[in-house]
């Protein structure tokens, strides 16, 4: 099975582990993530303004690309998934947005929300099945107590996202069981980490992150996993309370599937080391404008778009 794959800017940059291990794990589980060509940044925030379509167009382009290839579209980053699923819902159900987006894009056939959007976890749950994942596990993470950190973008608004029960989700816990570890359910797993506010109000995000960390530690979690690069950044870099290690879901999946040869202990947190270093300048959590990366002053340009003044 081949899925169209929309990685998003951050996965090309700060969250390369999330991307790399997802692709490796997918192959091991018998499906392929084929990156769509010339994808553009999703914008990272779903545009709420009802008269605004320009910021929705990149999502529509990605959705239409998958439709033309007759494939389902898979995403990993919570923000990308959120934006793309909601824009898809708009294209299906909001006539005004659909008409104006299609008028602008002038596609061969108008896009009307036909593509099915899956989060990587939804593929595991609904297409592969967690039982089948469990069978492929060669290195079960026995004895590790893992708290799922959902954040808010995957679950809400629950009607459109249709990901899981927003108050009592189970998908990541089921995933944790599939890779042989023990899920730890804690009350703050579906609370917001503060998101982009970390750029402006560090203290506020610190409070929110402390609540999550304390709540997880209180219930006995030894580490946390998340699907969201921004959540991972905030969990690692904000707050004052005792820190639990935080990993991407795909990293532990790859480990359980035996794809990472050297076993990492929970203390050796991985995945996002660059951010915590002092050299990291102004950080845009969406990863698209990494000011301390001289090679790409305008940000990590999406695949397929050549940087001005370079190359030919």
Partner 1 sequence: MQRIGVFVCHCGTNIAATVDVARVVEAAAKEPGVVHAEDYQYMCSEAGQLKIREAIKEKNLTGIVVCSCSPRMHENTFRQAAERAGINPYMVEIANIREHCSWIHKDIEEATEKAVILARAAIAKVTLNAPLQAGTSRVVKRALVIGGGIAGIQTALDIADAGYEVDIVEKTPSIGGRMSQLDKTFPTLDCSACILTPKMVEAAAHDKITIYTYSEVEKVSGFVGDFQVDIRKKARSVDMSKCTGCGVCQEKCPSKKTPNEFNRGLNNRSAIYTPFAQAIPNVPVIDRESCIKFKTGKCGVCAKVCQAGAIDYEQKDEIVTQNYGAIVVATGFDTIKLDKFDEYSYSTSPDVITSLELERIMNAAGPTKGHLERMSDHKAPKSMVFIQCVGSRCADKRGKSYCSKICCMYTAKHAMLIRDKYPDVEVTVFYIDVRTPGKNFDEFYRRAVEEYGVNYIKGQVGKVAEKGDKLLVQGVDLIDNKRILMETDMVVLATAIEPNPDVRKIATMLTASIDTNNFLTESHAKLRPVESPTAGIFLSGVCQGPKDIPETVAQAGAAAVKVVGLLAKDHLVTNPCVAKSDELLCNGCSSCEKVCPYGAISYEEREVNDHGIRETRRVANVNSALCQGCGACTVACPSGAMDLQGFSNRQILAEVDAICK
Task: Give whichever of 221 and 253 is closer to partner 1, judged by the CB atom.
Answer: 221
Q: How far apart are CA 159 and CA 304, in angstroms?
A: 34
Sign of the CA dihedral running 211, 276, 40, 228: negative
Task: Give whichever of 30 and 187 is closer to partner 1, judged by the CB atom.
Answer: 187
CB of 95 to partner 1, least distance (A): 23
Q: How far apart are CA 73 and CA 255, in angstroms?
A: 25
Task: Give whichever of 177 and 219 is closer to partner 1, judged by the CB atom.
Answer: 219
CB of 195 to partner 1, least distance (A): 17
CB of 159 to partner 1, least distance (A): 9
Task: Give whichever of 185 and 197 is closer to partner 1, judged by the CB atom.
Answer: 185
For the chain, helix, strand, coil in percent to 5 are 45, 10, 50
Q: How far apart are CA 8 and CA 19, in angstroms?
A: 9
CB of 287 to partner 1, least distance (A): 30
CB of 174 to partner 1, least distance (A): 16
Give the residue from 79, 162, 143, 137 showing the smallest Cα distance to 260: 137
Backbone angles phi, psi at 49, to 5 degrees: -65, 130
Backbone angles phi, psi at 139, to 5 degrees: -130, 70
CB of 9 to partner 1, least distance (A): 32
Task: Give whichever of 68 and 214 is closer to partner 1, judged by the CB atom.
Answer: 214
* Exposure of 113 in the CB half-sphere (CA atoms within 13 A): 15
Task: Give whichever of 116 and 177 is closer to partner 1, judged by the CB atom.
Answer: 177
Residues at the contact surface with partner 1, assessed by CB under 8 A: 165, 167-168, 185, 187-188, 191, 214-215, 218-219
- Residue 226's alpha-carbon distances to 7, 62, 83, 87, 88, in angstroms, are 16, 24, 18, 23, 24
């Amino acid at each position: 099975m081949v899925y169209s794959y929309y990685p998003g800017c951050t996965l090309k940059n700060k969250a390369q582990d999330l991307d790399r291990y997802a692709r490796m794990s997918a192959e091991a589980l018998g499906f392929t993530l084929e990156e769509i060509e010339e994808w553009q940044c999703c914008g990272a925030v779903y545009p709420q303004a009802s008269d605004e379509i320009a910021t929705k167009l990149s999502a529509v382009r990605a959705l239409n690309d998958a439709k033309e290839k007759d494939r389902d579209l898979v995403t990993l980053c919570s923000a990308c998934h959120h934006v793309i699923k909601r824009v898809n819902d708009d294209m299906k159900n909001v006539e005004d947005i659909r008409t104006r987006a299609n008028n602008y894009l002038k596609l061969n056939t108008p896009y009307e929300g036909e593509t099915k959007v899956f989060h990587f976890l939804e593929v595991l749950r609904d297409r592969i099945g967690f039982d089948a994942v469990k069978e492929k596990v060669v290195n079960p993470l026995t004895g590790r107590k893992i708290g799922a950190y959902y954040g808010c973008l995957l679950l809400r608004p629950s009607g459109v996202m249709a990901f899981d029960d927003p108050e009592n989700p189970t998908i990541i816990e089921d995933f944790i069981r599939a890779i042989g570890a023990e899920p730890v359910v804690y009350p703050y797993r579906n609370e917001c980490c503060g998101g982009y506010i970390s750029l402006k109000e560090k203290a506020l995000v610190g409070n929110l992150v402390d609540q999550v960390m304390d709540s997880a530690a209180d219930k006995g979690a030894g580490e946390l996993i998340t699907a969201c690069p921004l959540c991972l950044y905030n969990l690692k870099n904000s707050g004052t309370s005792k820190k639990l290690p935080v990993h991407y879901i795909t990293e532990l999946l790859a480990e359980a599937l035996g794809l990472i040869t050297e076993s990492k202990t929970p203390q050796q947190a991985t995945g996002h080391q660059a951010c915590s270093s002092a050299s990291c300048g102004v950080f845009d959590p969406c990863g698209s404008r990494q000011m301390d990366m001289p090679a790409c002053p305008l940000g990590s340009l999406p695949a397929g778009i050549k940087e001005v003044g370079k190359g030919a």
